[in-house]
A and B are shown apart, each in its own frame.
Chain A
Amino acid sequence: MIITTLGATVKRAVKRFLSSLPALFGVLVFTFLLMRVLPGDPAVFFASGPNAGKAEIELIRKQMGLDKPVPQQLVYYLYDLGRGNLGNSIMTGQSVTKDLRDRLPASLELTFSALLIALVFAIPLGVLAALRPGSLIDHGIRLFCALGVCVPTFVSGLLLIYVFYYLLGIAPDPTGRIDIFTSLPPSRTGFLLVDFLLAGDVSGWWGAFKQLILPAVTMALFVIAPLARITRASMLVSLGSDFVRTARSVGLSWWRIVVTYALRNAILPVITIAGIVFSTMLGANVLVEKVFSWPGVASYALDALLSSDYAPVQGFVLLMASIFVIVNLVIDVLYGIADPRVSVG
């Protein structure tokens, strides 16, 4: 039984993955075209200096393939992509693949921590609100949620810096993942918290944690609301259902009813929303990464965009769209595990 459901889940996931490929390709082409209309000529950036001669610029254009018609450039781009080559960044002078690989862990670590914080707060809040609908707690949580989605991340981030760095002095200087005096642990996962733990460096871990907590909380604040709201709505449905009434009538403990029966059945929509929230957070990272000078992929793409550097932006968008697809896949699989009925249907 379990094997058949797992098989069905995998089959469904593969089907979903294949059906998302056209969209991914569309993203690829659309970004490519969008980047061709960016103002500024990358050949000029690549040239030796501001006084580079026309001939030199022309030569570079030729080397970069920029003198070819756009459709042909697209074909070259796709060919390179097929070989895993995302092009080179003008800003850093490195390959985009390397740049993204260097910076992705920073963004992922931040986003995962933010999602974790958000879930840790949102699920209990949603459950609390659902247990006493219409009560003062419920209204309080609703107010908190309503306010949470209204404060832009760049404002809440800056205000957190003001309170915890300037006023209280307990947060470190809000720039980057570790302060400049700490040496990096040997890179194993790229996640500093994990790497410091593996290296057994407690003070390093604490330093990295202190750098991480403010940006992570900033992002979490913005997404607690949708998560808490969906938890509440879905808990209300599940608390009102027959099986909870039955559980109550046979005298199961309150904790067991709420957590084991009601919450487990209410968790599906929360998983979905959490997945969507994760993908949007990765994209919306730009603002938080900028406020906290976080060396992630989003701030890398932003800098590239502002200096008309095509390749990193294309690579970034492709990366984000792929992560989006992967996250959807993971949700699908989790869904199948949490509720076997889904994959049978």
Chain B
Amino acid sequence: MTAATLRHAAWILRGNPLTGIAAAGVFALVLIAIFGPSIVPYDPVSSDVPQALQPPSWAHLAGTDQLGRDSFSRLIVATRLDLTIAVSAVGVSFVLGAVIGSLCGYIGGRLDRAVGRFVDVLMAFPLFVLAMAMVAALGNRIENIVIATAIINLPFYIRFSRAEVNIRRNLGWVEAARACGDSHLSVVLRFLLPNILPAMAVQMSLNLGWAILNAAGLSFIGLGVTPPTPEWGIMVAEGARFISTGKWWLVAFPGLSLMLAVLCFNLLGDGMRDILDPRMRT
């Protein structure tokens, strides 16, 4: 981060204040994820049946569910789980994808073709269904949502880093590094990977939103997270049973949380892309 980059970033932010708001939003989400569980007004899993299915009020900002649990507290507590799933899934697919992809781009040849085929197979799957099948096969646990989400994201990271490394591998500074006696591995890890990192960071931010939706979708259909764990997707699923009788808050608030979280990550990703590559602005 040089001064010029910062100035450029500041200039972009002036033209597009949404990016700043999105960054603040992401920061707030992280704070809620860290401190949320210790500041919520009610225990997110203790039921209070006389208070069941109350619409939003000052005592219960987001109403109560069928067991009288405070939805607002559950929403806050759920933030940590939802973010953890998304961040770890994207983290895993980023690390694996970046390493595999840049090796393929750098070495090429047989490895590249083999991995290319594997990626083709993954991409031919209906991805959400693949994730469903994997969670069902590996077992209904949170780790498996992370694994499934990571795997269905993997092709994008492999393709992306492969392409980015491929255009750079014969550039002057790569040859210079090799001429200085750097090993191939060191060229990839110390020069090429850091070089494609900013572009990948954009991808990750956009991907985080998608990972959140994906995980919520899985738990909505009853895979992965199990009740009574507070999680946004499950909360929507539980609320779905009461929507036809007009209990809108059970769906609306978890939906709103999902939407805001995804929106923040998407806007942040878009904004970062503008900063890194002004040509890509649409």
Contact = CB atoms under 8 A, between A and B. Distances in A.
B124 A321 contact: yes
Interface string A80-108: 00000000000000000000000000000
A320 interface: yes
A149 B209 CA distance: 9
B220 A147 contact: no
Given A161-B243, A287-B220, A26 B126 contact: no
19 contacts: A20-B120, A22-B117, A23-B121, A34-B134, A146-B266, A150-B209, A150-B266, A152-B233, A154-B220, A154-B236, A155-B236, A158-B255, A159-B251, A162-B246, A165-B244, A166-B243, A284-B128, A287-B221, A317-B133
A313 B130 CA distance: 10
**Which of A31, A154, A159, A320 counts the most chain B CB atoms within 10 A?**
A154
B248 interface: yes
A283 interface: yes
Contacts, number: 151
Given A26-B120, A155-B236, A233-B282, A279 B126 contact: yes
Contacts of B78: none
Contacts of B239: 158
Interface stretch (B52-60, B65-73, B136-144): B136-144
Contacts of B32: none
Interface in B257-276: 258-260, 262-263, 266-267
Given A23-B121, A290-B221, A35 B251 contact: no
Interface of B: 117-118, 120-121, 123-130, 132-134, 136-139, 209, 213, 216-217, 220-222, 233, 236-237, 239-240, 243-246, 248, 251-252, 254-255, 258-260, 262-263, 266-267, 282
Given A30-B125, A283-B127, 9 more contacts: A34-B133, A147-B263, A149-B262, A150-B260, A154-B236, A154-B237, A155-B254, A306-B222, A320-B129
Interface of A: 20, 22-24, 26-27, 30-31, 34-35, 37-39, 146-147, 149-152, 154-156, 158-159, 161-162, 165-167, 173-174, 229, 232-233, 279-280, 282-284, 286-287, 290-291, 298, 301-302, 305-306, 308, 313, 316-317, 320-321, 324-325
A152 B258 contact: yes
A24 B138 CA distance: 23
Contact of B127 (A154, A159, A280): A280
Contacts of B222: 306
A98 to B, nearest CB: 21
B259 A150 contact: yes
Nearest to B252: A159
A22 B136 contact: no
B258 A155 contact: yes
A259 B108 CA distance: 45
A23 B120 contact: yes
Contacts of B220: 152, 154, 287, 290
Nearest to A316: B129
Nearest to A314: B133
B159 to A, nearest CB: 14
A28 to B, nearest CB: 9
B244 A152 contact: no
A302 B131 CA distance: 12
Given A35-B133, A165-B244, A317-B133, A232 B251 contact: no
A161 B252 CA distance: 12
Contact of B255 (A151, A301, A305): A151
Nearest to A161: B243
B255 A174 contact: no
A20 B127 CA distance: 17
A174 B127 CA distance: 26
B221 A159 contact: no
Contacts of A233: 282
Contacts of B120: 20, 22-23, 26
Given A150-B209, A155-B236, A321 B266 contact: no
Contacts of A324: 124, 126
